[in-house]
Structure formats: structure tokens, C-alpha cells
Amino acid sequence: MLPSRHLRSAARQRSHRPPPAAGDASSSSSSGRLDPEVIRSNKAITAHMRAGRVADAERLFAAMPRRSTSTYNAMLAGYAANGRLPLAASLFRAIPRPDTFSYNTLLHALAVSSSLADARGLFDEMPVRDSVTYNVMISSHANHGLVSLARHYFDLAPEKDAVSWNGMLAAYVRNGRVEEARGLFNSRTEWDVISWNTLMSGYVQWGKMSEARELFDRMPGRDVVSWNIMVSGYARRGDMVEARRLFDAAPVRDVFTWTAVVSGYAQNGMLEEARRVFDAMPERNAVSWNAMVAAYIQRRMMDEAKELFNMMPCRNVASWNTMLTGYAQAGMLEEAKAVFDTMPQKDAVSWAAMLAAYSQGGCSEETLQLFIEMGRCGEWVNRSAFACVLSTCADIAALECGMQLHGRLIRAGYGVGCFVGNALLAMYFKCGNMEDARNAFEEMEERDVVSWNTMIAGYARHGFGKEALEIFDMMRTTSTKPDDITLVGVLAACSHSGLVEKGISYFYSMHHDFGVTAKPEHYTCMIDLLGRAGRLAEAHDLMKDMPFEPDSTMWGALLGASRIHRNPELGRSAAEKIFELEPENAGMYVLLSNIYASSGKWRDARKMRVMMEERGVKKVPGFSWIEVQNKVHTFSACDCVHPEKEKIYAFLEDLDMRMKKAGYVSATDMVLHDVEEEEKEHMLKYHSEKLAVAYGILNIPPGRPIRVIKNLRVCGDCHNAFKYISAIEGRLILLRDSNRFHHFRGGAWIELMLKVSGRTFPA
């Protein structure tokens, strides 16, 4: 029996199944198979199916008074070719006497649709198997990277043909197991030139040019593909001298040989040589033109690329994609969009390139709109498109949109691999949804070092140091080796969670334990860790002992710690260093001004503001945004343009009174202006993050988290206020600022403060 999944799917579509014929559907006698009318109908069914006219084929099938097994096979193959797998599975069970072709047709359909478990179930029940059966199982498992299972079916095959041997050889090569491919190759002598080329291309693909050359030199016979493999291999490795020598020695050259040399010169920055070979080509195809256009694009010579593109006599979709990608990489969004809009034909790469252009250009709304348009056009969404849109959802914390994408990518079969899976993890973490991030991580069938690093860094940014270190411990039990980025995440986890001694231990042992040499990023983490703990002298001493000069990020970490622990002298010293390194860094002026203001040194604070004006340094305005019902709402301080501003302000006024009853006191020392206390309280009350949180409470149903993003660091007053708000409103508030995540959950902290003060919790 086929697994129940397909039988259930077939049952759901039972109303679409072709109705039985008026006569006995099982009367497929030998005379029926030779019936001229049956033969004509079978050919007509095949023609309908090839043209995609499934309904016409079904009507003809239903009207046939007699059918043969070939009739059923024509329908079965048609359903499979048109992507109607449940109907194919249902029809298969209705065939009176299925033959090997029937089994092989459904087997191939299951394998192509990634239903490998179902394919294995059908294989096991087959009464008779032939070489085609085994070849389907070999190739399907190899295509999914299941090389050991492919070898299992290869070994099971009682008779192996050239397709079997070449399929198994290609499976090893395609999955990087070239030594096992060589072992298989050496196990027999009857290989054709295709097999030699397959193994040779495997060596080239995986950078083993000496082994490839050894094979090439002892080949009993070479074709033009053999020469092309070696020429392109040397070219990709950057050895254009040997690539050109082989090109000149080749007894026959085709357009691919010439194009390999053009591409080689182009990829190695030898633009003039590439153009000389291109101009000398006796014949050019679209690939040749594309290679030369790409050479100009690689050098950011977009005018020359456009001129050559306009000269092309034979553009294909790849030609347009090359120009589109070039403009996108150069940040020329208008030109990229113009190319995209004028393309006569678009493929998945075109859409993904335009999505990437918008996403990397910070055009979040355009990215999401284009993705929606992509779906309306029925275009297949590839991994790159999913990754771009997930990245956009992460940037603007559009969690609901990201969760919908998660469902779509699982249906598309991309949910378990590294490329899209890592983007999915990053999206969940940046949207503050750690539970779903962990679930997605657990569901990944493949994990690379980026997967582990994303988890560690994600937990670290949320302040969950213990969980980050647990993931690190899990990683160490696998074959994945921690890298320098891993250790940055580990040290950041220790810093954000106050695990000072543990962080120090990791820092001083990481070279011995993991082979990672400390880089500036690791020192920055340590300065931040020591600074947060108030060990400013140790942090300063570490900077003096570093094997390289401190950069602005390190001085910035020390400046931030100086503000927290009210050390204006050290803060001033750190700020002076930053001004030398980055005189345009507005954040450092503001931070130092903050230190002066918090110490009551208003004259010094005003000097910093004057200095900013004299040097033309502009303070980045603060914004906060929140997603509600798939729409992103943006707020600025004292926002007066939002359509619901009056409702939001009234709510904040009422909330402010309830917060003060609970013990909240405005942190007016955070206001950098020398004004009256009442005015300072008013200025703090309407910070952008408070407006966003208030809007979320008013519009997001109770029980659901409030997720807000701010482009700058959250101020100390808002941080304190959200502790009270989360308790008073009974809501989980997740705030992502420019540095990390902050979680506010009503409970122990506020309740303890109320008990100590003897207050009652407000209703």
C-alpha cells in the first residue's frame, strides 16, 4: 500500500478523479490492447496531457468503453508530468494489472516531488524491478544529498547499465565525495568519455586541479568537453597562464572554450585581455556576451556594460538578470527597477535580484510589495527570494509576515536547509520570538556554523546568556568547529548576562581550546564585559595591552561604561579618542553630552552641542516602529502626525498616573536640556518607543506580546518605565534597540518593589 498521506490527498480530490467508463474498466484483455480505437484514444490522451489539457484527457478516458494498461499508463504519466501527484497515486490503485512501467512512472513522480519515503514504500512493494527502477532510486536519493542510500540501491541492483554507473559516479561528485567517486571509478575499466569528464569535473569543482590534470593526461580519448573542463578549471583558480596554454593547444574549440577564457580573464580582473579574446571570437552566444557584460559590471563600469548590453544580438533572461544584478549591487535602484520593468521575460532569479536590491537598499515596503506581486504572478519563489524577504521582515520586526513566510517556505521544501533556515532563525530572533527560533533550529535537518552562530548571538542579544552558552555546549558535541564569530557571540552572551568570570575564562582559553586568535571584536566584547561590571580600570588596562591600536568601537564601549558608572573623566578621555578617529560620529557627541548632563555639568553639555553644530555633525533622529495586523506603524518623539495620536496621548496620560502610583519616578537626568523638571517629565513622556508601546497595547489583543523596534539606544527612563507598564498592563514587552533586545514582563520585580514600599497594586 502507498503511505496514507497520498491516499488521504487523493481522497480529498476525489471529485476531480476521472469517472469510470461505462463499460468494465478492468477489461484490459490482450485483444483490448491491440484495439485500434484504444490505441487512437491512448495517443490522444498523451497529446492532451503533453499540452497540459488534463480535463480533456480525463473526459476522453472516462468515455472509453475499453481500456488497456497503456491507457492507464498514459493517464498516469500525464498526471505526473502535470504535477497532479495525488491523482496519479489514486489512479495507480485503480489499474487492474499495473506493469513495471506503471510502477516506474509513479516511482519517478514520487521521487521528483521529494516524497522519498513514499518512493521507498512503493519500491518495496514492486513485484518486478528493472534497471530503470534502480536508476530512479539512485538518482532521486543522490539529488537530495542522500548518497549512502543512493549507494544502497546501486548495490541492490542485480544488473547495472551505464546510467547506473554514471549516476552513482555523479552522485559522489555532486556531493563532494570525490575520493569515493575515484574508488568507484577504479573498480572497473569500461568507462566512456562522459564518465572520465564527470570525475575530472568533480576534481575541478572541489579545487583538486592536480588530480584533475592527472586524469586528463591519461584519458584514452578526449572530447571538447574534456578540454573545456580543464581550461575553465584553471581559469577559475586564477591560473590564466595554464588556462591560455591549454586553450591554444586544444585541437578543437567551441564557443564554450572561448567563453571560458573570457570569463577567466574577467573574473581575475584582466578586463583588457578579456575584451581582446571576446573581440577575436569566431562565434558568440548569449553566454559569451553575458560574460563580457559581467566583466564590466565587476569593475563597476556600468556605462560600458550598458553599451555592450545594448549591442547584444541575442539576449536571454540571464542577460537581463546580469544587468539587473549589476545595477542592484551598485546601489542604482532606479536603473535596476527600469531593467526589471522592461524585461520581456522574468524568472525566479530576476525577482530574487530585484528583491535583494530593495532589501539591501533598505526599501522594506517595496520589498514586501514586490514579493506579494511575485506571488500574484505565479512565479516560483526560490531560496534567495525567501532569504531576502525574511531579512526584510527581520529588519522591520514584521513577525506576522515572517511567520506566514515560514509556512510558505516549508510547503516549498526549503524549511530544513541551511540557506533559508539561517535567515529564518535570524528573523525570529530579530522579531523577539525566541521560542519559534528554537523550534525552527530543532527542525533543521542541516546545520552549519552560521546556524549555531545565529542561535548563540540571538540568545546573547536578548540577554539570555545561559541559553546561549547551552547552545555553545551543544555545538561543541558536533563536528562543527567554532570560529571567531562563534566566540564573539559567546563573549557577548557573557557580557549581556553579567557572567564576568566565565567570559574572562573563555577569552583567555579560546586560542588553546578552539584555535581562535583574539581579534578586535573579541577585545571589544571583553571591554564591554568589564565595563558593564564596573571594572573600568581593568578594561582600560586591557586596551593598553592589546596587540593593536584601539578602534572607535572599543573606546565607545568604554565611554558607555563610563556613563553607566558615572566616571566623567574617563568618559571624556574616551570621547576625545573617538573624536580623533571618527569626528562625524554623532552618537559619541550625544553620549558624552549625556555624561555631562547626568553630572549637572550643563555648560560642558552645551559645549558638546555647539561643537556638533560647528563640525556639521547631525544627530540621527530617533524612530520606533511596531507591526500591527501586517502593517508597520512608525513613531517619532512627540509624534503629531499619526492618525490615532489623540487616543495614544490620552492613554499615556492615564498610564503615567497609574505608573506613579506604583512607584515610578521619571529619570529626568536623562534629559540633556537645562529646563525645569516639569518640562523634562513632559519630554520623557512622549518618547517614540513609549508611543509605539502605547499603540501596541491599544491595538494588539491581550495575551500577545508587544514588539517594538527603535533605531537608537533605548533611554534609561523608557527602560525603567516599561518595567512598570508591563506589570500594570500584564503584557510582555519586547524592545529591540540598536544594540540589543530588552524583555519586560510584569511580575517579580514590580511586586517586590510594591511590597517593600507598602503600596497596593493599582487596578
CA dihedral 258→263→269→272, nearest 10 degrees, is 40
Least confident stretch, 14-18, 209-213, 483-487 = 14-18
Bridge partners, residue 742, by sequence: 735
> In which band, very low, low, confident or very high, does the pLDDT at 449 lie, cut at 50, 70 and 90?
very high
Q: Give pLDDT tens digits for 667-697.
A: 655 554 444 445 455 566 788 898 999 999 9
Alpha carbon 751 to chain centroid, angstroms: 42
Q: Give pLDDT tens digits for 48-97.
A: 888 889 899 889 999 888 888 899 899 989 988 888 888 888 888 888 88
> In which band, very low, low, confident or very high, does the pLDDT at 250 lie, cut at 50, 70 and 90?
confident
Percent of the chain with pLDDT over 70: 89
DSSP secondary structure, 574-639, as one string = HHHHHHHH-TT-HHHHHHHHHHHHHTT-HHHHHHHHHHHHHTTPPPPPPEEEEEETTEEEEEETT-
Q: Which fold has domain 549-620?
A: 1.25.40
> pLDDT value at position 189?
74
More confident residue, 254 or 537: 537
Assign 3-class secondary structure to 85-138.
HHHHHHHHHHCCCCCHHHHHHHHHHHHHCCCHHHHHHHHHHCCCCCHHHHHHHH
The arithmetic mean of pLDDT across residues 177-195, rounded, is 78
The arithmetic mean of pLDDT across residues 530-535, rounded, is 92
Percent of the chain with pLDDT over 90: 19
The arithmetic mean of pLDDT across residues 491-506, rounded, is 92
Cell of 748: 517579580
> pLDDT value at position 556?
86
> pLDDT value at position 664?
85
Cβ(172)–Cβ(202) below 8 Å:
yes
More confident residue, 273 or 600: 273
Cβ(92)–Cβ(108) below 8 Å:
no
Distance CA 395, CA 401 (A): 12
Q: Please give the radius of gyration of the chain, using alpha carbons only, rounded to the nearest integer.
A: 33
> pLDDT value at position 540?
93
> In which band, very low, low, confident or very high, does the pLDDT at 482 lie, cut at 50, 70 and 90?
very high
Q: Write the burial class of residue 300 (CB in 10 Å: 0-12 exposed, 13-18 middle, 19+ buried).
A: exposed
More confident residue, 517 or 612: 517
Least confident stretch, 15-29, 30-44, 345-359, 417-431 = 15-29
> pLDDT value at position 549?
92
Bridge partners, residue 732, by sequence: 745
Among 196-200, 407-411, 698-702, the range of highest mean pLDDT: 698-702
The arithmetic mean of pLDDT across residues 137-155, rounded, is 80
* Residue 11 confidence (pLDDT) above 60: no
* Residue 247 confidence (pLDDT) above 80: yes
pTM here is: 0.60
> pLDDT value at position 415?
59
Least confident stretch, 122-126, 613-617, 707-711 = 613-617
Average pLDDT score over the chain:
82
> pLDDT value at position 316?
87
The arithmetic mean of pLDDT across residues 501-526, rounded, is 94
* Residue 517 confidence (pLDDT) above 80: yes
Q: Write the burial class of residue 501 (CB in 10 Å: 0-12 exposed, 13-18 middle, 19+ buried).
A: exposed
**Nearest by Cα to 615 from 634, 636, 589, 597:** 589
* Residue 518 confidence (pLDDT) above 90: yes
**Nearest by Cα to 529 from 563, 490, 568, 566:** 490
The arithmetic mean of pLDDT across residues 296-324, rounded, is 89
* Residue 438 confidence (pLDDT) above 90: yes
> pLDDT value at position 523?
95
> pLDDT value at position 414?
67
> pLDDT value at position 17?
41
Delimiting residues of CATH 1.25.40 domain(s) in the chain: 549-620
